[in-house]
Amino acid sequence: MKRFLLQAERNCISGALVLLPLLVFFILLGKVWKFFQDYGEKFAHFLRLDLVLGKYATDIAGGLILLILIYLSGYLMRLAVLKRFTNWIDEKLMIFLPGYEKNKKEAEEKLLKRNHEPKPVTDLPILFKNGDFWQPAHLIEENENGSAVIFVPTAPTHNQGQILIVQSDDFRKLTDTTIGALDESIKSFGKGILSFK
């Protein structure tokens, strides 16, 4: 019974940690959409779209205003002052909204994939010798003195972990493996690593 209660407590805490960022996100999304609906209603009434489209005019006009604002913001992001301001807002959101940074990175990765912009290859997959066992890692850079900088991810996230400075003898390069395959394996807690070469 005690074991069941401990498991239930862990599940409730884990569930709260998953739901809290989603709840905050949807509340913010609802408030933003309400803001644009209010202006969309005025805009639709001004252009007499409400007579043609009826109750849907508010949503359509609000959505158009939002899309135009997003499009224009893309041009404004080229200004250094505005970019610094948005970076400052991002830093504050990372402090006050749990899970914001992770969700932002996932969204950026999805946008990169959608735009077919390949991520620049700056690292190579390796197996790092750590005592009696091997760990999957990324080789970031290596110099002629035999020193190397590696990144050891913490499963199941491939973009969080430790940066280590090691000797070239402490790792083995996986020349026939892509960094994407290694990251997918790390996300699935190491499934498939034994076949990597």
Tokens, residue 24: 């905050």
Q: How many CB atoms lie within 10 A of CB 182?
A: 24
pTM for the structure as a whole: 0.39
What's the gap between Cα 142 and its chain centre? Answer: 28
- Alpha-carbon span 49 to 112, nearest angstrom: 36
For 95-143, the pLDDT digits (tens) are 777 677 777 777 777 766 665 544 444 578 888 888 888 888 889 988 8
3-class DSSP state of 173? strand
Higher pLDDT, 41 or 123: 41
pLDDT exceeds 60 at position 76: yes
What is the rounded CA–CA span in Å between residue 105 and residue 160? 11
Three-state DSSP class for 148?
strand
Q: CA 111, CA 70: separation in Å to the nearest integer?
A: 15
CA distances for 67 relative to 27, 47, 55, 57, angstroms: 20, 18, 20, 15
Half-sphere exposure of 41 (CA within 13 A, CB side): 6
- Percent over 70 (pLDDT), the chain: 88
Region 57-85: mean pLDDT is 77
- What Rg do the C-alpha atoms of the chain give, in angstroms? 24
Residue 163 backbone dihedrals phi, psi, to 5 degrees: -105, 125
Sorted by sequence, the CB contacts under 8 Å of residue 124 that are 6+ apart come out as 138, 139, 173, 174, 179
Q: What is the pLDDT of residue 191?
A: 83
Please tell me the least confidently modeled range out of 1-10, 145-154, 158-167. 1-10
Going along the chain from its start, the domains and CATH numbers come out as 2-114 (no CATH), 124-195 (2.30.30)
Tokens matching residue 15: 């569930």
Q: If residue 22 lies in a helix (H) or strand (E), which one and from where to where? A: helix 2-46
CA angle 7, 8, 14 (to 5 degrees): 90
User: Would you say the C-alpha torsion 187, 189, 195, 197 has a positive or negative sign?
Assistant: positive
